[in-house]
Structure 1
Amino acid sequence: MIKKVSIGLLILALSTSCVSKKIYNDLENKFADLKKENRKLADDNEDLLKTKTKLESDGAALKAEYDKLKAERDKLQADYAAADKSLKTLQSSYKALEKNSDEALQSNMNKNRELLAQLEAKEKSLAAEQDRLNKLKAELESSSKRLNELESLMAAKDANMKKLKDNLSKALNAFEGKGLTVHEKDGKVYVSMENKLLFQTGSWAVGPEGKKAVVEVAKVLAVNPDISVLIEGHTDDDKITGTIGGGVENNWDLSTKRATAIVNILSENKGVKKENLTAAGRGEFAPLMSNDTPEGKAKNRRIEIILTPKLDEISKMLKDL
């Protein structure tokens, strides 16, 4: 849907001398939606970390309860052994006194019954505690299994993103030192291309060398279909004056056209899922450096390709916890 809107805006921009305020507002609203989506991804990642922490805390609590019940069971077993020993002693005494007195015999028999009753009660209590211990142990094992599965999924996600970053770095090695960098941050991979590699001043037409770099990115994306791709256009704070090419209203408009141009090149690769692509213009409002120097302005004029893993499987697992 975003791609269709972006293409429509591009066609409208090429067929007229200026872009309407409505298109500007639509782009502005689209950018706001993208920011919300970005915040949601950050919140999802934070929720994952909180869930992991809670599972670890619950597991520790279950382990402590397990150890406590085990200690109580061991005590009951010791009491049982002591009672059993006393019973055997009384039984021996009973046999010795049996010959001497019916009264002594009756007394020992009563004591024997009491001890047998106590022993039976302790056996029942021990069995009940053992059942509770088994249940807690099962809960602990189940919780540990879910935690391990969640950690495995998160580790796999991180490993996949590192592999993706390594593959991109390898594919784009020829452009090192030409204004292109690849780095990983907060579980995402960023491909940053300075405008000197991609565009002429005031233009949104991608040059031959820049197109080669974007085509290499598309090749990597084609074998990673489960990655969301946000293409952000950035400018310095120099104001747009006069007529540039087909005409642009301002830096925001120019940055959006440049982001859309990158999307169009990525889409030429049939293996890239178009529904994973989003173009956004951020104008001069997200600079990397101060615009007070030519060097700072050059760094701020760039395209950011932000690759984000889809978290559907992890989100489903969290719902099942």
Structure 2
Amino acid sequence: MKHSVFSLSVLTVCILFTSCVSKKQFAGLQSDYNKLQTENSDLRKSYQDTKEQLVESRTNAKSLEDRLAEARRNNEEIRSSYAALQGSLDKSLQQNSQGNINISKLVDEINASNRFIKQLVETKTKSDSLNLVLSNNLTRSLSREELKEVDIQVLKGVVYISLADNMLYKSGSYEVNERAGETLSKIAKIIMDYKDYDVLIEGNTDTDPITRANIRNNWDLSALRASSVVQVLQNSYGVDPKRLTAAGRGEFNPIADNNSALGKQRNRRTQIIITPKLDQFMELIDKAPESSNK
């Protein structure tokens, strides 16, 4: 660019100091001058463009450096976040592994409890079924007349045989009469057929006070009546006394209103209660799976 300006200057000086040129030479010189002017203008424009491009390039370079620095900062943050996430993941995996162990232990305990419950249910179902069979066998063994004075029920897995006092005893007495012998013999046979059952004999009275010598009150009367039935079952029909229990509840376990003669008659009764041996269920309870709190 400096060379072009110098040439232009020389040409101008030559024109000014040279007056003796022909028109043809002048025209040539004029053409060269115009050409140099054009080239100079183009050079100026090129120079300006180059300068602007340089500024733009420097600006872009600064922007790229800033972006690179920001990218490096972001990369460092990402690495830190990754390390934190990896730590959290490792901790979660460790906790999950421990949780799986606890869950597995809990599942084992639940399965053991379910097996125990199933065993209890099966035992209870078996017991209920035997009780129904016992009740049906007893009902079939009794005559129609005996069934009028004997009430047989199965409630919550227990067989209740309720005998009216006028069938078993004389009025105001606790001695078993001869009339009751045949009925008690049938009951005794059923009891002996089911050796895994315990038998509770329970005496009950109405509210009328007893007025016999050597019997203080209805407690005594109900207990003596139960004891009499127990001894008949043992001595006359061979029931194992270890399976028998005598109990008296006096007037305090009524099933009807004592304000009427019919109600009092229903309350004067002796119940033979046949139940599965409790030790069968206690053995199952002893085998129950222990809960683990570890």
- How far has the Cα of 1:278 moved from its partner? 1.3
Change (3 A) 1:175 1:282: farther
- Match for 1:205 among 175, 180, 183? 175
Structure 2 residue matching 1:230: 3-state secondary structure:
strand
Does structure 2 retain, via aligned residues, the 8 Å contact 1:229–1:305? yes
1:256-267 aligned at under 5 Å gives the runs 256-267=223-234
Does structure 1 retain, via aligned residues, the 8 Å contact 2:204–2:222? yes
- How far has the Cα of 1:162 moved from its partner? 4.0
Residue of structure 2 equivalent to 1:182: 152
Structure 2 residue matching 1:303: 3-state secondary structure:
strand
Residue of structure 1 equivalent to 2:274: 307
- Match for 1:216 among 167, 173, 186? 186
Change (3 A) 1:251 1:131: closer
Residue of structure 2 equivalent to 1:163: 130
Does structure 1 retain, via aligned residues, the 8 Å contact 2:206–2:250? yes
Overall identity of the aligned pairs, in %: 29
Deviations 1:242-292 (A, max 9, x none): 56xxx533332222221011111222444x442232111222222211222
Change (3 A) 1:206 1:161: farther
Change (3 A) 1:120 1:277: same
Aligned equivalents of 2:190, 2:259: Cα separation in 1:
36
Does structure 1 retain, via aligned residues, the 8 Å contact 2:167–2:179? yes
Does structure 2 retain, via aligned residues, the 8 Å contact 1:197–1:209? yes
1:52-71 aligned at under 5 Å gives the runs none
Does structure 2 retain, via aligned residues, the 8 Å contact 1:198–1:210? yes
Structure 2 residue matching 1:178: 3-state secondary structure:
helix
Letter matched to residue 312 of structure 1 = M
Does structure 1 retain, via aligned residues, the 8 Å contact 2:160–2:272? yes
Aligned equivalents of 2:259, 2:143: Cα separation in 1:
27
- Match for 1:284 among 251, 254, 274? 251
Change (3 A) 1:147 1:286: same
C-alpha RMSD over aligned residues: 3.7
Which consecutive residues of structure 1, in runs of 5 or more, have no partner in the other structure?
1-107
Deviations 1:25-61 (A, max 9, x none): xxxxxxxxxxxxxxxxxxxxxxxxxxxxxxxxxxxxx
- Match for 1:132 among 93, 99, 106? 99
Change (3 A) 1:317 1:209: farther
Does structure 2 retain, via aligned residues, the 8 Å contact 1:234–1:281? yes
Deviations 1:43-94 (A, max 9, x none): xxxxxxxxxxxxxxxxxxxxxxxxxxxxxxxxxxxxxxxxxxxxxxxxxxxx
- Match for 2:163 among 164, 180, 193? 193
Does structure 2 retain, via aligned residues, the 8 Å contact 1:169–1:182? no
Q: Choose between structure 1 and 2 for higher RCO, CA contacts under 8 A separated by at least 6 residues.
A: 1
Residue of structure 1 equivalent to 2:195: 225
Change (3 A) 1:315 1:142: closer
- Of residues 253-262 and 158-167 in structure 1, the stretch that sits farther from structure 2 once superposed is 158-167
Residue of structure 1 equivalent to 2:263: 296
- How far has the Cα of 1:124 moved from its partner? 8.0
- Give the TM-score, by structure 1 length: 0.54
Structure 2 residue matching 1:157: 3-state secondary structure:
helix
How many positions carry a matched residue from both structures? Answer: 214
Letter matched to residue 104 of structure 2 = K
Aligned equivalents of 1:165, 1:197: Cα separation in 2:
25
Letter matched to residue 124 of structure 2 = K
Aligned equivalents of 1:185, 1:236: Cα separation in 2:
23
Change (3 A) 1:223 1:180: same
Does structure 1 retain, via aligned residues, the 8 Å contact 2:209–2:217? yes
- How far has the Cα of 1:201 moved from its partner? 1.2
Deviations 1:126-158 (A, max 9, x none): 476245324412321322322331342144124
